[in-house]
């Protein structure tokens, strides 16, 4: 038994399946935890069990939290007619960190993918269409990744929303803040040039 | 509250402190876990609690496992007079994966470091010296990293063992298996050339 005990090996194997980790990094993390097994490790296990127990998806937007309706959907001040469509909860959190958007969200839970058999129903696009009428949405902002999958999904949603008579917008494309032209891909430079604005 | 709930934020903060992780990778892992909160996440939390509860250090060599004396120290077949000194448990596990060493180990738990105030006592070097007599060790193999810290520690131990009349060896230095000369640092090439052997 190379790695301590069956229990330790099982823990390493479980950790190695987490995104961004592999056997080597999982082993390193588990060893570091075992060194702090009465403090940090026990606390982390308890915290993880607590979050597994208490966290749930907002039944309206798909955000993750502890309530059946998340604080954003529950806040009447955020019913300003703007609905921001994101692929994942991580994207919602990134936008919230920016503090620039004061409307509500709709989490798709992924992007359209023929390969992975993810179609419009899997992404809850019919649910998105029904929310627009129910919540008096006037603008849908498609905040999807600037990748082929993200933009395919954006186009599909824009078409699906045509009957809804709602303004559909997308994030601006251009040079990121702090970006150096020399290091940017050609596509970004072309997009930034086409969308140039008067100063 | 950008990230779900206080509990979720606390979990992300705890995960972000693990070696090799940061806020972004911790967030990604926690979101992926929450998506599988009733299966994978609850299991991982339980497994982590179990390992925190049951794992301990071998009182003889410092290996990590579930017994007071680890299976390697408990196996009489491994009392072959060879004692392999490693800095960390991860190094012990790496050597065990190689299946080439059939003696016993001594885990220092680090390397000498004036900066971090890690001296001979912190590394259990007196305990190593006493093990040599107790266990009839004839050869001590210093399997320490080929870094400045590792080699400083190796030299210190070699000196400390001089009165013990024991053979002290170190790992061979040279070209790693699969290594391409063009990509190796000069130090390795010089060491491999100096230690060249007849074919």
What tens digit of pLDDT does each residue of B133-160 get? 899 999 999 999 988 889 999 999 999 9
Cβ contact B5–A54 (<8 Å): yes
Are A55 and B5 in contact (CB < 8 Å)? yes
Q: Nearest CB to B90: which of A28, A46, A50?
A: A28
Chain A residue nearest residue B48, CA to CA: A45
Instruction: Report the gap between the CA of A199 and the closest CA in chain B (Å).
Output: 33
Which residues of chain B have a CB within 8 Å of the CB of A7?
Answer: 47, 50-51, 54-55, 66
Helical axes B125-134 vs B148-160, angle rounded to 10°: 50
- Tell me the torsion sign for CA atoms B39, B41, B46, B51: positive
Nearest CB to B2; choose among A18, A47, A96:
A96
pLDDT tens track for A121-137: 888 888 899 999 899 99
Cβ separation B7–A51 shorter than 8 A: yes
Cβ distance A124 to A108 under 8 Å?
A: yes
Cβ pairs A/B, distance under 8 A: 163
Q: Residue A14: its chain B contacts at CB < 8 A?
A: 40, 43-44, 47
Residue B168's pLDDT band, with cuts at 50, 70 and 90, is: very high
Task: Classify the C-alpha dihedral B113-B114-B117-B120 as positive or negative.
Answer: positive
- The pairing of strands B167-170 and B139-142 is parallel
A90-104, B57-71, B117-131: the lowest-pLDDT one: B117-131
Average pLDDT over residues B1-23: 90
- C-alpha to C-alpha distance for A60 and A128, rounded to whole angstroms: 10
The CA distance from A67 to B145, in Å, is 51
Q: What percent of chain A is modeled with pLDDT above 70? A: 99
Give the lowest-confidence range in A19-23, B15-19, B194-198: B194-198
Q: Read off the pLDDT of residues B118-127 as tens digits, 9 standing for 90 and up.
A: 888 888 888 8
Domain boundaries B6-54, CATH class: mainly alpha
Q: Which chain B residues touch A12 with a CB distance below 8 Å?
A: none
Least trusted range by pLDDT, from A57-61, A93-97, A100-104, B189-193: B189-193
Mutate which of B64, B67, B102, B109 to disrupt the A interface (most A C-beta within 10 Å)?
B64
pLDDT at A2 over 70: no
Question: Would you say the pTM of this structure is higher than 0.90?
Answer: no
- Could B65 and A89 be called an inter-chain contact, meaning their C-beta atoms sit closer than 8 Å? no
Rounded Cα distance between A84 and A166, Å, is 13
What's the Cα-to-Cα distance from A60 to each of A9, A64, A135, A189, B181, rounded to whole Å?
40, 11, 11, 38, 60
CB-closest option in A8, A48, A53 to B64: A8
Interface contact A52-B32, CB threshold 8 A: no
Per DSSP, the three-state class of A82 is strand
Which CATH fold topology does A70-198 show?
Answer: Dna Topoisomerase Vi A Subunit; Chain: A, domain 2 (3.40.1360)
What pLDDT sits at residue A180? 87
pLDDT of A1 above 80: no
pLDDT band of residue B93 (cuts 50, 70, 90) is very high
| B42 pLDDT above the threshold of 90 | yes
Question: Pairing relation of β-strands B82-86 and A167-170?
Answer: unpaired
Domain locations along chain B: 6-54, 70-198
Mean pLDDT of chain B: 91
DSSP per residue, B59-70: TTT--EESSSS-
Q: Residues B81, B138: contact at Cβ < 8 Å? A: yes
Q: Give the tokens for residue B53.
A: 């509860």
> At B115, is the pLDDT very low, low, confident or very high (cuts 50, 70, 90)?
confident
Tell me what pLDDT residue B98 has: 87
Region label for B75, one of left (φ > 0), alpha (ψ between -120 and 50) or beta (otherwise)? beta
Q: Evaluate if residue B2 carries a pLDDT over 70.
A: no
């Amino acid at each position: 038994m190379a790695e301590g005990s069956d229990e330790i090996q099982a823990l390493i194997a479980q950790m190695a399946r987490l995104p961004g980790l592999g056997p080597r990094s999982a082993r390193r993390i588990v060893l570091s935890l075992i060194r702090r097994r009465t403090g940090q490790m026990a606390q982390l296990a308890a915290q993880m069990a607590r979050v597994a127990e208490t966290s749930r998806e907002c039944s309206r937007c798909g955000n993750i939290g502890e309530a059946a309706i998340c604080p954003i959907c529950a806040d009447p001040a955020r019913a300003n007619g703007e609905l921001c469509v994101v692929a994942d909860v991580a994207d919602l959190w990134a936008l919230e960190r920016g503090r620039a958007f004061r409307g509500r969200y709709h989490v798709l839970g992924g992007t359209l993918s023929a390969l992975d058999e993810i179609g419009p129903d899997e992404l809850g696009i019919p649910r998105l269409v029904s929310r627009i009428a129910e919540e008096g949405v006037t603008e849908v902002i498609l905040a999807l990744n600037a990748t082929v999958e993200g933009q395919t999904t954006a186009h599909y949603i824009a078409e699906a929303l045509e009957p809804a008579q709602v303004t559909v917008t997308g994030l601006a494309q251009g040079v990121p803040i702090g970006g150096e032209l020399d290091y940017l891909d050609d596509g970004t430079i072309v997009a930034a040039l086409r969308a140039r604005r008067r100063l």
